[in-house]
Chain A
């Protein structure tokens, strides 16, 4: 049986409540495709049965799995290139001159998926700074528990290392672990991964010098984008830098940011007094 309208609405409401992700009408096929494996695993024939089961007996674990199954975790190394080039060309030199030699730089990858983004940052900083391990801390957070565990493990499949990771960096920072590649202990020490829902009050963290909030605002409605940008700003240093995805901007969403063009990409900085 294909997904009923009531089941789709129930999933939509649940996902919206738990993650703020907006599933547009017409995304029934997506819900079915993403939830069918879970239904099968529970010995159920289709997604409507899965929805009925979880509705009748709500269970924190199953609800979480449904929400996680509907997140899109697509990511790659050095995604779009420019926001990472900007880190070493402009942001890092400016931060180093503004901060004391012993001050720790704090960087946040706020929707880190399986870890390619925080480890991209870690590799760049490790190459750029002689004492990166003690000088930098990278906080990686994601809504999805599975993604946080993957980031923590720092293991990537052959297909994943093929996506945008320069070969010299692969051989320098990774070793083979069976069929996978494992990021070096050194870089894993720089990255702390934890679960965090951006659409809920944020835990006490930071203050951050640089925030990568990339390819996640696209899933939210305008009020959610606004409140997330406000909360992120509260966790940033006044002279910090924010990077968004290529299809995302603060313009027309939250006017308390200044857009700075760096090469072919843009960063956003908290406006003074806003």
Chain B
């Protein structure tokens, strides 16, 4: 009996949590809302509805490595990313925003949202520096918590997505048995 119990326990702890076990959309939305209020402006509202995604999109993200491993990815149209950067810099914004200014500011928003997502997850975990470009691919469709919002009429998505492929489904009977 004892041996069997231990075996069961070990197996169940081997199961990796997926993000939806750890955080919900409402928490991700409230993290994003706080970031927008503080960084973008007091009256900046995120309306939680999906918008028509633009063709020319860009993403910024940070990776989280710990009990849960994955990325926090912001995706929006290039124009919106630029507007967001301008809003972030406010008076400090230069006349002409360089490409690097936008990458930097848009990346910093991912860093702020990502850092707070990380703190809401079981830790300790590490946080990477922000990256900007084409979002990392979704490895496991069930390991994703995605929130779609509209900011100043433009769609922005915040996706907390696992970096690991799904675990192979153990066969319900004896796992190590070789099929004949």
Pair from one complex: yes
Does B89 sit within 8 A of A, measured CB to CB? no
Closest to A158 in B: B34
A102 CB within 8 Å of chain B? no
Q: Is the CB of B27 within 8 A of A159?
A: no
Q: Mark B3-37, 1 if CB is under 8 A from A, else 0.
A: 00000000000000000000100010011001001
State the CA gap A158–B36 with chains docked (Å).
13
CB pair B37 A158 closer than 8 Å: no
Give per-residue flags for A152-175: 1 if the beta carbon is below 8 A from chain B beta carbons, else 0.
000001110000000000000000
Scoring A158, A159, A176 by chain B CB atoms within 10 A of each residue's CB, the highest score goes to A158
Q: Is the CB of A179 within 8 A of B31?
A: yes
Chain A residues, CB < 8 A from B34: 157-159, 179
- Looking at chain B, what size class is its interface with the partner chain? 10 to 19
Other-chain residue from B37, B38, B120 in contact with A179 (beta carbon distance below 8 A): B120
Residue of A157, A159, A176 touching B119 (CB-CB under 8 A): A176
Q: How far is the CA of A159 from the CA of B34 in the complex (A)?
A: 7
Cα A176 to Cα B115 in complex, Å, equals 13
Q: Is B116 in contact with chain A by the CB < 8 A criterion?
A: yes
A32 to chain B, nearest CB (A): 14
Q: Which of B80-134 contact A (CB under 8 A)?
A: 116, 119-120
| Cα(A183)–Cα(B140), bound, Å | 36
Q: How far is the CB of B122 from chain A (nearest CB, A)?
A: 10
Question: Cβ of B31: which chain A residues have Cβ within 8 Å of it?
Answer: 179
Task: Tell yes or no: A130 within 8 A of B by CB.
Answer: no
- Whether A159 contacts B38 by the Cβ 8 Å rule is yes
A100 touches B (CB below 8 Å): no
Q: Which of A157, A158, A178, A179 has most chain B Cβ within 10 Å?
A: A179
List residues of chain B with CB within 8 A of the CB of A159.
34, 37-38
Residues of B near A178 (CB, < 8 A) are 23, 27, 120
| CB pair A158 B27 closer than 8 Å | no
Instruction: Give Cα A158 to B117, complex, Å.
Output: 12
CA A157 to CA B33, docked complex, whole Å:
11
In the complex formed, the residue of B with least CB distance to A181 is: B119
Considering the complex, give the chain B residue whose CB is closest to the CB of A160.
Answer: B34
Q: A176 CA to B27 CA in the complex, in Å? A: 13
Q: Provide the bound-state CA to CA distance between A178 and B120, in Å.
A: 5
* Complex: chain B residue closest to A177, CB-CB: B120
The residue in chain A whose Cβ has the minimal distance to the Cβ of B30 is A179
A41 to B: closest C-beta gap in Å: 15
Q: How far is the CA of A179 from the CA of B22 in the complex (A)?
A: 12
For the complex, what is the distance from the CA of A12 to the CA of B31, rounded to whole Å? Answer: 36
Chain A residues engaging chain B, CB cutoff 8 angstroms: 157-159, 176, 178-179
Given contact pairs A158-B116, A179-B31, A179-B119, a sample of 6 additional A-B residue pairs in the complex whose CB atoms are under 8 Å apart:
A157-B34, A159-B37, A178-B23, A178-B27, A178-B120, A179-B27
Contacts A/B (CB < 8 Å), 19 sampled: A157-B30, A157-B34, A158-B34, A158-B116, A159-B34, A159-B37, A159-B38, A176-B119, A176-B120, A178-B23, A178-B27, A178-B120, A179-B27, A179-B30, A179-B31, A179-B34, A179-B116, A179-B119, A179-B120
